Every structure is written in structure tokens, then in C-alpha cells.
């Protein structure tokens, strides 16, 4: 366990909170490419694409391809999405 596991867990929690997928669904996905994995329409309307892609990168099977822990804080700056501000 370490930072890569924390990043994965954060991505998984984000996906579940948005109602998109649960772990069993992820096992069936060929890839976590945004073009392959679908999001509920309500999520696509409200959550910016950059945030959805960040969650998918956090769920990469190969830990080396996941977001680095220090890069997770920049999602709101990159996407322009910051609830409450």
C-alpha cells in the first residue's frame, strides 16, 4: 500500500459517488479510456470532462500510469471547476 493505492481509492470513490461504476463494472471494462467507459448523462452535463478524465486516470490498472498524488490538487485549476467558489 502507498500513494498509488490512495490515488486508486480516491478515483474509485469519485466514480461511485457520481453513480457511474462500481468495482465489478470496472473488472469488465476493456479499458478505462473515456471513449470506452460511459458516464450517466447527468454526470456528463454537470461534471467537466477534465474531472471525469482525472478520475479515470486515477483508476489506471498500471500504477505508473495513475495520477501522481501531487497532481490531484490541480484538477480544479485545469478544469475551471471548483464548487463553492
27-78, pLDDT tens digit by residue? 555 555 555 667 778 888 888 888 888 888 888 878 888 877 665 455 556 5
Domain with 50 in it: 3-24+32-75
Grid cell for residue 62: 498500471
So what's the pLDDT on residue 25? 57
Residue 61 falls inside a structural domain: yes
Q: Which residue has the cell 479499458?
A: 31
CB 46 within 8 A of CB 25: no
Q: Is residue 51 part of a domain?
A: yes
Sign of the Cα torsion 46, 80, 33, 58 reads negative
- Please count the structural domains in the chain: 1
Is 85 part of a structural domain of the chain?
no
Which pLDDT score, from 0 to 100, does residue 27 have?
57
Summarised one tens digit per residue, pLDDT across range 1-32 is: 788 888 888 888 888 888 766 555 555 555 55
Amino acid at each position: 500500500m502507498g500513494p498509488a493505492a490512495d490515488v486508486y481509492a480516491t478515483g474509485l470513490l469519485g466514480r461511485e459517488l457520481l453513480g457511474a461504476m462500481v468495482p465489478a463494472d470496472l473488472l469488465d471494462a476493456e479499458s478505462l479510456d473515456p471513449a470506452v467507459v460511459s458516464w450517466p448523462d447527468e454526470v456528463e452535463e454537470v461534471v467537466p470532462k477534465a474531472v471525469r478524465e482525472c478520475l479515470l486516470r486515477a483508476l489506471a490498472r498500471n500504477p505508473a500510469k495513475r495520477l501522481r498524488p501531487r497532481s490531484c490538487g490541480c484538477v480544479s485549476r485545469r478544469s475551471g471547476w471548483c464548487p463553492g467558489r
